[in-house]
Amino acid sequence: MKTNINEYEDKETRNIYNIKSTLESSKKILGLSEEIVRNISKEKNEPDWVLNIRLKALDLYNKMEDPDWGPDISYLNIDELLTYVKPSTGENRSWEDVPDDIKEVFDKLGIPEDEKKNLAGVGAQFDSEMIYHNLTEKMKELGVIYTNFDVAIQEYPELVKEYFTKAVPLTDHKYIALHYALFSGGSFVYIPAGVKLDQPLQSYFRLNEKGAGQFEHTLIIVEDSASLEFIEGCSAPGYNELNLHAGCVELFVKKNAYLRFSTIENWSKNMLNLNTKKCYVEENGTIEWIMGSFGSKVSMLYPLSVLNGRNAKCEFTNISFAGKGQNLDTGFKVIHNAPNTKTVVNAKSISKDGGICLFRSYSWVKNNAKNSKLALSCESLMMDSESRSDTIPVNNIETSDCVFSHEASIGKISERAIFYLMSRGMSEVEAKALIVRGFAEPIAKAFPVEYAVEMNRLINLELEGSIG
């Protein structure tokens, strides 16, 4: 069966994400088989224990069924997918060494510029491999590790072995099994005890090849009393063939540690984004998820936080914007597994031009989570009646010593507000854009400034495309 995406339609306004590098890849692998998995492992010169994980995952993938809930993804044909695409460059420590046409793509996306702006380190992945990683000298001296995940397997095998697959098991779901069979690239971050980074680390993921998959693995360990802000950005040019992103993020936040994990996702609208993220939080630790989802054809993404220690905290802030042909099935999961644990969720979604935003959540408060508090809030904005906005929260409360509340609302842009703004000289489009930006503002504030600006720009692009 030929993968077909008729709904896909690109916009001129999306131009900067649409730069297609003409660079020839040095190696492309189509489809999935044991031989292919062995070849990828060989290409990366991996130890046997890693190969064994890949093979076990492949076996699981072949045995597992697609989920019987959520968006239809049955049209995904793995045999037609480029499961490994190696860019014709190794990993570079200096931006100067990155080949010109790849550099041009990232230059236009503003990546090297970002690095100059107060970042402790930057990484960039192009298709299946990281092509750039750099960490400031100061960070290296503090014992911070920030490197390509493949390199980490070679250089820090003990650390990787201790944590890899420990947050997200191979058996979680079918597409995580696929991920573990094919994983390539991604970042490994280790923040030693007591080290507090006052500047963020940033990884940028670019899927350039059409009809390809990206399976990066990100593993972050924040040791006792350490602190980190990690930012990931994702984008791809638009094609008429299906692309697949099945990444995995494993996070470990130790005692008194802090991690803020921000994602701004602007995959092209031919992308199937089946991502898996999970975080373990120990005593007094804090995980803050900040997510902005704008791109992809279909997204299924529900980061899970497991609050395993007393006073552990989880904050989840998300905004999704679904336009024409998009089905963004996102949300979050939390397990309260210790006393005095706390969760605050603030999720917003905007759907327009037939886009679908679906928010799922799962909150499980175990009996041992005494004196725990959960406050969940979801708001959706419908721009028209072709679109959909659904909320499906599952709440499972197993102790009486808990305060749980969930509020959700669906609304539209108030006609009165539009009239008010138009009476102040704004056009209808400007008025709507202003109101939507206001709706998104509390979320935008949580992003680093450059990303907040970027997010507002994306909102404006999305709105002008439809209303103008």
Partner 1 sequence: MEKILNSTPVRTTNKFKINDIKVDIPDIEFINFDDYKIDGNYNVSIKDKFNSRIGLDYNKYLNIDLDVNKDNINLEFNVNKPLVLNININSSIDSTVNIKYIGNNIAITKINTSLNNSNIKLNVINLLDKEAYNIIEFTNTLVDSNMTTNFIDIGGKVKLSNLLTDLNSSNSTYNLNNLYLGINEDIIDMNYLINLNKPNTNSELVVEGLLNDKSKKSFKGTLDFKEGSSDSIGHENENCILLSDEAKSKSLPMMLCHEESVDGAHGVSTGKIDEEKLFYLMSRGLSKDESIRLILNANINKIVNCIDDVNLQQEIIDIINKEI
The reply on whether position 26 binds partner 1 by CB under 8 A is: no
- Could you say which of 33, 62, 396, 427 contacts partner 1 (CB under 8 A)? 396
Instruction: Report the C-alpha gap between 290 and 424 in whole angstroms.
Output: 34
The reply on whether position 367 binds partner 1 by CB under 8 A is: yes
Instruction: Report the C-alpha gap between 232 and 426 in whole angstroms.
Output: 35
The reply on whether position 380 binds partner 1 by CB under 8 A is: yes
Cβ neighbors of 121 (< 8 A, separation 6 or more) are 133, 134, 135, 136, 139, 144, 146, 201, 202
The reply on whether position 169 binds partner 1 by CB under 8 A is: no
- Minimum Å gap between C-beta 334 and partner 1 is 13
Instruction: Report the C-alpha gap between 18 and 12 in whole angstroms.
Output: 9
- Minimum Å gap between C-beta 292 and partner 1 is 22
The reply on whether position 148 binds partner 1 by CB under 8 A is: no
The reply on whether position 401 binds partner 1 by CB under 8 A is: yes
What is each CA distance from 32 to 83, 104, 231, 390, in whole angstroms?
A: 7, 32, 31, 35
Q: Centre a 10 Å sphere on the Cβ of residue 438 and count the other Cβ atoms it contains.
A: 11
Which range binds partner 1 by CB under 8 A, 7-15, 75-83, 159-167, 379-387? 379-387
The reply on whether position 284 binds partner 1 by CB under 8 A is: no
Cβ neighbors of 74 (< 8 A, separation 6 or more) are 66
The reply on whether position 83 binds partner 1 by CB under 8 A is: no
Name the pairing type of β-strands 27-30 and 82-86: antiparallel
Name the pairing type of β-strands 271-274 and 243-245: parallel
The reply on whether position 318 binds partner 1 by CB under 8 A is: no
- Could you say which of 392, 418, 426, 467 contacts partner 1 (CB under 8 A)? 392
Which range binds partner 1 by CB under 8 A, 126-134, 273-281, 283-291, 393-401? 393-401
Cβ neighbors of 227 (< 8 A, separation 6 or more) are 191, 195, 196, 197, 257, 258, 259
The reply on whether position 409 binds partner 1 by CB under 8 A is: yes
Q: Centre a 10 Å sphere on the Cβ of residue 468 and count the other Cβ atoms it contains.
A: 9
Instruction: Report the C-alpha gap between 329 and 69 in whole angstroms.
Output: 11
- Minimum Å gap between C-beta 415 and partner 1 is 9
The reply on whether position 411 binds partner 1 by CB under 8 A is: yes
The reply on whether position 428 binds partner 1 by CB under 8 A is: no
- Could you say which of 168, 402, 436, 461 contacts partner 1 (CB under 8 A)? 402
The reply on whether position 95 binds partner 1 by CB under 8 A is: no
Q: Centre a 10 Å sphere on the Cβ of residue 137 and count the other Cβ atoms it contains.
A: 7
The reply on whether position 387 binds partner 1 by CB under 8 A is: yes
The reply on whether position 419 binds partner 1 by CB under 8 A is: no
The reply on whether position 134 binds partner 1 by CB under 8 A is: no
- Minimum Å gap between C-beta 276 and partner 1 is 13
Q: State the DSSP code for 339.
A: T
Q: Give me the sign of the Cα torsion angle 440, 442, 445, 446.
A: negative
Binding-site size, partner 1 (CB under 8 A): 37
Q: What is the DSSP string of 117-129?
A: TT-SEEEEEETTE
The reply on whether position 405 binds partner 1 by CB under 8 A is: yes
SS3 354: coil
- Could you say which of 22, 141, 407, 468 contacts partner 1 (CB under 8 A)? 407
Q: Are 105 and 205 in contact (CB under 8 A)?
A: no
Residue placing its CB nearer to partner 1 in the complex, 128 or 389 = 389
Bridge partners of 351, per DSSP, are 322, 382
Which range binds partner 1 by CB under 8 A, 144-152, 334-342, 359-367, 436-444? 359-367
Residue placing its CB nearer to partner 1 in the complex, 335 or 459 = 335
Residue placing its CB nearer to partner 1 in the complex, 184 or 389 = 389
Closest CA to 297 of 378, 239, 349: 239
Instruction: Report the C-alpha gap between 366 and 397 in whole angstroms.
Output: 7
Q: What is the DSSP string of 149-200?
A: HHHHHHH-HHHHHHHTTTSS-TTS-HHHHHHHHH----EEEEE-TT-B-SS-
Residue placing its CB nearer to partner 1 in the complex, 111 or 300 = 300
Hey, which residues between 51 and 80 contact partner 1 (CB under 8 A)?
67-69
The reply on whether position 346 binds partner 1 by CB under 8 A is: no
Residue placing its CB nearer to partner 1 in the complex, 62 or 396 = 396
The reply on whether position 96 binds partner 1 by CB under 8 A is: no
The reply on whether position 350 binds partner 1 by CB under 8 A is: no
Q: Centre a 10 Å sphere on the Cβ of residue 134 and count the other Cβ atoms it contains.
A: 18
Instruction: Report the C-alpha gap between 201 and 175 in whole angstroms.
Output: 27
Closest CA to 202 of 123, 107, 91, 144: 123
- Minimum Å gap between C-beta 463 and partner 1 is 15
- Could you say which of 81, 382, 431, 440 contacts partner 1 (CB under 8 A)? 382
The reply on whether position 406 binds partner 1 by CB under 8 A is: yes
- Minimum Å gap between C-beta 232 and partner 1 is 25
Residues that bind partner 1 (CB under 8 A): 67-69, 360, 362, 367, 380, 382-385, 387-412
